[in-house]
Chain A
Amino acid sequence: MKVNGFVHPAQRDPRRLLSDHLRHDLGLTGTHVGCEHGVCGCCTVLFDGAPVRSCLMLAVQAEGHEVSTVEGLAVLGAPLHPVQQAFHECHGLQCGFCTPGFVMSVVGLLAQHPNPTREQIEEGISGNLCRCTGYASIRRAVQRASELSQQTPSPLRGEGWGKGR
């Protein structure tokens, strides 16, 4: 499977969840695990460009596919991805536990709706739980991310994004 552009050897244990594979086998601990039954959203990653819950997939299912995690959005030292930059500017996080999941969901949301309405923003982040911010600053961050994305084209925005597959 390809993760953030790099090919990794296959995981052979079918019981390994994709979330655990990313964290424990590949050391990509930016993908967080919270509820592990698809409710909290903090394990959200991109699977062939569309956001999915990595705790609800087996690692073997990702074989031959492309996975993007929060680590793949910006290389160390390089400018942040527009969505990360917007969360930073708008204080879209406090403790930060839910943030990687929010960021990946918002990357998917903006691929589907580059200029989201307030309803689309609320619908787009409704599958992620945050216990600190009260969501108002996250909503502002999504609006800001939309502005920033249109100024800086992201290399991760390509064909097929946000489409169900």
Chain B
Amino acid sequence: MKPPPFEYHSPSTVEEACALLGSLEDAKVLAGGQSLVPLLNFRLARPSHLVDINRIPGLDAIYERDGGVAVQALARQAGVEDSELVARVCPLLTAAVRLVAHRVIRNRGTVCGSLAHADPASELPAVLLALGGHVIARSARGDRVIEAGTFFRGVFETALEPDELLVEAWFPASPGPFAILEESRRHGDFALAGVVRAADRLALFGVAPTPVLADPADPARGLRPSGDLEATPEFRLHLVRTLTDRAFAA
């Protein structure tokens, strides 16, 4: 299999990466590649330029900041899964990352990449939304903090500008009761529907173009999930109600 033609760039600093993103037409950032490379292989994505950030040193930290956990662009999902800091400060994130595909995928995939990719059925965007976290977008113009509530715009769409690199995601601590529950056809598959509870906040995934906040007392209100071969809209609504009940039962 061969991806479509692209020009390959491998910057060694964040500044260089941002300069490339600011000057190139139709460029995509390549981090873990666990979503982008399948799209390239199937030629569903045909970017003119790939900006591979994997050779930028010092961009893989996971550290405590402002009472939460900051995860930099190249921190792999497996690293977040194994992080004692994350388990202590934000155990919801530990629980969520374990639901992302399989360990072999998580060895390469990044948390920030999952957020920037913004798959509607992905767990991590819903976790960021439930916790009220944010991301930091960097460009030659400077840094911009984007709250989770305004970051996710649509299916695979975020508030990132073409010249911006998502350099860090911040997840607030999850001290209260939390849960992430999902239903999928096979272990590791994308969820048919899922719920994230962070104390009294509830976020849903897999049932709308973006993750959405919902009322725990009536989580399916106003939802119009799509139907496909794997689940009808009615079944997805049923899952939302049932999983919410379970998440708040504890």
Residues of chain A touching chain B, judged by Cβ–Cβ distance below 8 Å, are 14-17, 20, 33, 36-38, 41, 44, 47, 50-53, 55-58, 60-61, 105, 108-109, 112, 122-124, 126-127, 163-165
Contacts and interface: CB of A to CB of B under 8 A. Distances in A.
Given A17-B1, A36-B1, A126-B188, A55 B41 contact: yes
A17 B2 contact: yes
B29 to A, nearest CB: 14
Contact of B103 (A15, A33, A38, A123): A123
A163 B82 contact: yes
Interface of B: 1-8, 10, 33-34, 37-38, 41-42, 50, 52, 54, 76-82, 101-108, 187-188
B1 A53 contact: no
A164 B105 contact: no
Contacts of A38: 34, 37-38, 101, 105
Contacts of B3: 15, 17
A120 B156 CA distance: 32
Given A164-B106, A165-B76, A165-B79, A37 B8 contact: no
Nearest to B42: A37
Nearest to B50: A14
A124 B82 contact: no
A56 B54 CA distance: 14
Contact of B107 (A33, A36, A37, A52): A52
B50 A52 contact: no
Contacts of B77: 164
Given A14-B8, A126-B102, A127-B103, A52 B41 contact: no
A135 to B, nearest CB: 12
